[in-house]
Amino acid sequence: MSASRDDFGIAIRSALLKKGARQKFSLFFLIVISTLIFFLDSIKFTAIDITRSFLRDGIYRASSIASSPIRFAKYSGDKIKIHFSIYNENKILKEELDRLKNKDLDFEFLSSKNRNLQKLIETDAEIVEETVLAKVLLDKDSPFLKSIIINKGKNSQIQKGMPVVDGNYLVGKTVEVNYLSSRVLLLNDLNSRIPVTLEPDATQAILVGNAERNPVLEYLPEFFEAEEGKTVFTSGKDGIFPAGIPVGKIFLEENVAKVKLFSDPNQISFLNIVLTNTNEVESF
């Protein structure tokens, strides 16, 4: 038994400390360094923050270059797929066109919706801010984390917590800002929580990311029955997002109210960062 314990000790010691012919560092040394970096990462210290920011900028750029052949292959594959599916698409589009032609537009509903939207825009008059156009550098898929890297950072006056839109539709907010790049937390990320309002009766709810394509509506009023097709806007109650940014349409899946986002998080190439004042956000 003691011989077995000795063998175990020798094996562990050998695995940890043996460097081998081509190894420059022992595993033990590197494990200690990794643990140290892991703890240093959580410390808010200017020198560490600057180093971290420059390291991230460099790696993001290198990653963007390294990913370009893959992106090109994906793009070519998509183009070929689109080319082959064009016949079916045409058939579907014709059917949809017929359906739309036959649809009787409810003018009253539309005008009521318009009135409500006008109200939202009026309350929002002072939040019409300048935006910065940014390109998506990286969009790495992960089972839980849904975020993208954009090519604008502190050099373009971007700050942590700024809302990010694709056209007129909300995409997420900035959660990490480096000098030349930033990370945008998408609405379907597990950590995303956005206060929203449902038109036309201005019901308040929280849009919760679930790491899937369509986020869920939570904290709805008691006995509230969600109706499919209602439009969801940001409510601006948190003081982070301006009110009235369209987010998506409600649909029901197994009696759970989900939101089909207007902007598909997997198809974003360019987006705008709304340069809001985030001082309140930081304190929030």
Partner 1 sequence: MAILYKNLKLKTLSLGPLILLYFLSITEIDTQFSNYFEILSFNLQLIIVYYWVMKDPSILGNGHIFFAGIINDVIMGLPMGLSALGYLITALVAMYIRSVTVKMTFLQTGLLLF
3-state secondary structure of 217: strand
Q: Does 168 participate in binding partner 1 (rule CB under 8 A)? A: no
Q: Does 143 participate in binding partner 1 (rule CB under 8 A)? A: yes
Residue 186 beta carbon to partner 1: minimum distance, rounded to whole angstroms: 11
**Residue closer to partner 1, measured from CB, 18 or 135:** 18
The token duo for 14 is: 């050998």
Burial environment of residue 173 by CB neighbours within 10 A (0 to 12, 13 to 18, 19 or more): buried
Q: Does 12 participate in binding partner 1 (rule CB under 8 A)? A: yes
Q: Which of 2, 5, 21, 229 binds partner 1 (CB under 8 A)?
A: 21
Candidates 190, 174, 147, 189; CA nearest to 240 is 174
Q: Which of 66, 92, 110, 202 binds partner 1 (CB under 8 A)?
A: 66
Candidates 233, 119, 219, 231; CA nearest to 165 is 233
The token duo for 34 is: 């990794």
- Interacting positions 71-110 with partner 1 (CB under 8 A): 71
Q: Does 245 participate in binding partner 1 (rule CB under 8 A)? A: no
Q: Does 43 participate in binding partner 1 (rule CB under 8 A)? A: no
Residue 21 beta carbon to partner 1: minimum distance, rounded to whole angstroms: 6
Helix/strand/coil (H, E, C) string of 105-162?
Answer: CCHHHHHHHHHHHHHHHHHCHHHCCCEEEEEEEECCCCCCCCEEEECCCHHHCCCCCC
Candidates 111, 107, 106, 117; CA nearest to 199 is 117
Q: Which of 60, 233, 241, 262 binds partner 1 (CB under 8 A)?
A: 60
CA angle in degrees (0–180, nearest 5) for 256-259-263:
160
**Residue closer to partner 1, measured from CB, 211 or 216:** 211
Q: Does 61 participate in binding partner 1 (rule CB under 8 A)? A: no
- For helices 46-84 and 86-102, angle between their N-to-C axes, nearest 10 degrees: 90
Only segment of 53-61, 163-171, 193-201, 218-226 that touches partner 1 (CB under 8 A): 53-61
Binding residues (CB under 8 A) for partner 1: these are: 4, 7-8, 10-12, 14-16, 18-27, 30-31, 33-42, 52, 55-56, 59-60, 62-63, 66-67, 70-71, 138-143, 145, 147, 176, 183
